Amino acid sequence: MLSDSAAALYDGGWRAEDREQLIEEYQLTEDEADALCRELARCGTQFYGLVIDGLHALPTKLTKRYDTYQEAHEAAERLCKKTYGARGTIEVGMVEMEE
């Protein structure tokens, strides 16, 4: 799977900016390199969900961090249902991970 390959390369120090070196090192096509670099760019990013009280009477709640936007969004939906119900709104935030 491409995301697994990108994660392994990311752990080995490769970054999306290394596109030309990746092509040379791994004999990638332009399309393969583009797809891999898109995945590498995502490797350093995590997402979290926010649940906001629509009446602004209660504090905003945060989910844990997730690797995908979809996972964070789904977690925020579940948390909203458990806590603020119909009066809550959700958002998703993004964190760039430090190297």
Cα–Cα distances in angstroms (integers) from residue 15 to residues 4, 11, 19, 65, 92, in the given order: 14, 9, 8, 21, 25
pLDDT at 99: 53
Cα–Cα distances in angstroms (integers) from residue 44 to residues 11, 15, 19, 28, 84, in the given order: 10, 9, 16, 22, 31
Residue 53 structure tokens: 């009280």
Ordered mean pLDDT values, 10 residues apiece, the chain (99 residues): 84 91 95 92 88 95 91 96 95 80
pLDDT at 53: 96
